C-alpha cells in the first residue's frame, strides 16, 4: 500500500482517518485559501482541496510512493458561502443566521500522486438543520471558542452537536472528511482500505499485538 499523507493539521480529519486503521503521515499544507465567495461551492471546495494536496505532493520526491490527501470544508446558507468566523462577533452573526434553518455543508476531497502528477477530486454535500437558538445559547457557545476555527462557526463533533436538530446525508462530511468519498478516490489509485486492512491482519506475527490506529499509526511531520 502506498504511504498516505494527510495534508491537513485538522485533528478531526486526523482522527477520522486513524479510525480506519490505516497508517499515514501528517504534513499540513501551506497553500493559501482563495476568496470563499468565488465560484460554485462544489467547484470551490474541490479547488481548495486540490490546492492543498498538490502543494504537499510538490514537495515530495516522485519515487516516494505516496498519495497525498487534501480536504476543505465550507458551509452554505441561501447560496452564500460561510467560511471560518473572523472573531467572536462574526461567529455570533453566523450562528444567528443558521438558527432554526437548514443549510448545506460541503467538503472537497482530493488525492494527489507525486509519482504520476495526477490529482483526482470530488465533494460531498450534507444538509444540516439547526434548532432555534436563543441569544443566551449563542453567547454561551461562542464563549467556548469552538466556533473560531470552524467553517460556519460550529463543530458537530463537539459542543456544537447541541445546536443541530437534524442532518440529511453523511455525518463524517460535516465533521470534515467524507470517508466513503475518500475510499472511492483511493480505490481509483488502486488502494482498497478494507482489503489493505485484511492483508495487514494476516501479516501480524502470532502472539503479537497491533497498536490501536489512533495511538500510533499517524505521525506529524514538521
Q: Name the residues annotated as catalytic.
A: 72
99 burial via Cβ count (<10 Å: 0-12, 13-18, 19+): middle
DSSP type of residue 134: -
User: Hey, which residues does 166 pair with through a beta bridge?
Assistant: 129
DSSP helix/strand/coil, 126: strand
**Contacting residues for 21 by C-beta, under 8 A, at least 6 apart:** 193, 197, 200, 213, 217
**Contacting residues for 117 by C-beta, under 8 A, at least 6 apart:** none
DSSP type of residue 104: E
Q: Are strands 164-168 and 119-130 parallel, antiparallel or unpaired?
A: antiparallel
Q: How far apart are CA 164 and CA 83, in angstroms?
A: 18
Amino acid at each position: 500500500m502506498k504511504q498516505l499523507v494527510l495534508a491537513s493539521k485538522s485533528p478531526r480529519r486526523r482522527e477520522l482517518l486513524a479510525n480506519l486503521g490505516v497508517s499515514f503521515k501528517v504534513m499540513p499544507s501551506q497553500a493559501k485559501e482563495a476568496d470563499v465567495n468565488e465560484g460554485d461551492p462544489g467547484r470551490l471546495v474541490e479547488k481548495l482541496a486540490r490546492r492543498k494536496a498538490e502543494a504537499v505532493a510538490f514537495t515530495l520526491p516522485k519515487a516516494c510512493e505516496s498519495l497525498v490527501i487534501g480536504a476543505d470544508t465550507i458551509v452554505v446558507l441561501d447560496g452564500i458561502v460561510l467560511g471560518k468566523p473572523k472573531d467572536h462577533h462574526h461567529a455570533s452573526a453566523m450562528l444567528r443566521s443558521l438558527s432554526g434553518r437548514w443549510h448545506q455543508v460541503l467538503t472537497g476531497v482530493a488525492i494527489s500522486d507525486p509519482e504520476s502528477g495526477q490529482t483526482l477530486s470530488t465533494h460531498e454535500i450534507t444538509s444540516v438543520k439547526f434548532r432555534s437558538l436563543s441569544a443566551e445559547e449563542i453567547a454561551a457557545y461562542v464563549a467556548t471558542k469552538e466556533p473560531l476555527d470552524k467553517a460556519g462557526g460550529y463543530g458537530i463533533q463537539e459542543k456544537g452537536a447541541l445546536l443541530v436538530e437534524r442532518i440529511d446525508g453523511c455525518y463524517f462530511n460535516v465533521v470534515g472528511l467524507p470517508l466513503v468519498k475518500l475510499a472511492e478516490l483511493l480505490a481509483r489509485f488502486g488502494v482498497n482500505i478494507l482489503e489493505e486492512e485484511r492483508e495487514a491482519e494476516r501479516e501480524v506475527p502470532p502472539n503479537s499485538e497491533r497498536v490501536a490506529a489512533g495511538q500510533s499509526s499517524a505521525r506529524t511531520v514538521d
